[in-house]
């Protein structure tokens, strides 16, 4: 087909005039609405900050093409069902959870809305998914294999404090993953010739009582499990451990950065970033059932020498040499 010069000019002119109108007529990109449910405190945490940064890196900006709906239970597990229901009424595209208690609550609330675990839970251990490789259903994300790691934390604590014979173990009974760890800790304690003083802490008022019980029974050291609520109370734990001159091992690095003695475990900040990856995959059409659940492959051992000096503890050189990070 041949066009005359005038016809071609007319065609180009028409194209130029119509093109902007066509572009303007296209619908704007969909605004994504994400829910976040956690048992922990009432505000942002390192993992939520990392989640938002991970989403931003993937093109989802809060306040622009992303609406984040955060719901925190402030350590009160009885609030979680109502918070989960409220998020589902908002028709969130994906529900991100942190910790076993929040994840189980979300799973009980919906079998259709995709759920991404952002850490703090062993979903196979508590029966939420069939396997890590093939989770099935509407749940995927990141698993914390806490039971196996608990024994390692106790071992490192014993090496750092060779004279310890009684270790106070603080755990949250409302956290299913914590419950799984208790048996593992008792087994590891027998191997290390340690006596365990088990202390359940699920609300702020329990913390002072727990430290009073440690003092009465003569605890030589302290192990605090990784848990959203316990993590939200890290400053109190750090202060009371220092006041009572108790060497303390934590399940996450944030308490050590806040002045605690040492920690061993995966990075919850990294969990937040990886959770963003799962959210992105689901929003682009991948089903949760087809996304294998990841487990941490790298664990960090962090020691705070300032905290050691504060309680008059000298960390053995062989233990110090094994640390991935030393705060001086």
Q: Across the 328 residues of the chain, what is the mean pLDDT of every consecutive 10-residue run?
A: 41 42 47 93 76 96 96 88 98 94 95 94 88 95 79 96 97 83 91 96 94 97 90 94 98 93 87 94 97 90 97 97 96
The predicted pLDDT at position 5 comes to 39
HEC-encoded secondary structure of the chain: CCCCHHHHHHHHHHHHHHHHHHHHHCCCCCCEEEEEEECCCCCCCHHHHHHHHHHHHCCCCECCCEEEEEEECCCCHHHHHHHHHHHHHCCCCEEEEECHHHHHHHHHHCCCCCEEEECCCCCCCCCCCCCCCCCCCCEEEECCCHHHHHHHHHHHHHHHCCCCCEEEEEECCCCHHHHHHHHHHHHHHHHCCCEEEEEECCCHHHHHHHHHHHHHHCCCEEEECCCHHHHHCHHHHHHHHHHCCCCEEECCCHHHHCCCCEEEECCHHHHHHHHHHHHHHHHCCCCHHHCCCECCCCCEEEEEHHHHHHCCCCCCHHHHCCCCEEEC
pLDDT digits (tens, 9 = 90+) for 168-207: 999 988 877 788 888 889 999 999 999 999 999 988 999 9
pLDDT value, residue 294: 94
pLDDT at 76: 83
């Amino acid at each position: 087909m041949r066009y005359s010069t005038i016809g071609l000019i007319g065609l180009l002119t028409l194209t130029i005039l119509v093109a902007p109108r066509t572009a303007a007529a296209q619908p704007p990109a969909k605004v994504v609405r994400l829910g976040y449910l956690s048992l922990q405190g009432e505000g942002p945490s390192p993992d939520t900050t990392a989640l938002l940064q991970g989403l931003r890196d993937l093109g989802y900006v809060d306040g622009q093409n992303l609406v984040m709906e955060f719901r925190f239970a402030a350590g009160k597990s009885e609030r979680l069902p109502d918070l989960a229901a409220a998020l589902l009424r908002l028709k969130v595209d994906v529900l991100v959870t942190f910790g076993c208690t929040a994840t189980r609550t979300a799973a009980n609330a919906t079998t259709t809305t995709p759920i991404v675990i952002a850490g703090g839970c062993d979903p196979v251990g508590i029966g939420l998914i069939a396997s890590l490789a093939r989770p099935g259903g509407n749940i995927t994300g990141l698993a914390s294999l806490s039971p196996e790691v608990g024994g390692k934390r106790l071992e490192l604590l014993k090496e750092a404090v060779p004279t310890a014979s009684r270790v106070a173990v603080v755990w949250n009974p409302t956290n299913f993953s914590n419950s799984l760890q208790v048996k593992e800790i008792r087994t590891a304690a027998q191997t290390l010739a340690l006596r365990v003083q088990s202390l359940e802490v699920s609300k702020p008022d329990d913390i002072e009582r727990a430290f009073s019980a440690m003092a009465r029974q003569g605890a030589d050291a302290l192990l605090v499990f990784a848990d959203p609520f316990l993590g939200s109370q890290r400053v109190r734990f750090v202060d009371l451990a220092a006041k009572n001159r108790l060497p303390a091992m934590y399940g996450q690095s944030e308490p050590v950065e806040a002045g605690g003695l040492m920690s061993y475990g995966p990075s919850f900040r990294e969990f937040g970033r990886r959770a963003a990856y799962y959210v992105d995959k689901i929003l682009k059409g991948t089903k949760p059932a087809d996304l294998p659940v990841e487990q941490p492959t790298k664990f960090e051992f962090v020691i705070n020498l300032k905290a050691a000096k504060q309680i008059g503890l000298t960390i053995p050189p062989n233990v110090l040499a094994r640390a991935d990070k030393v705060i001086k």
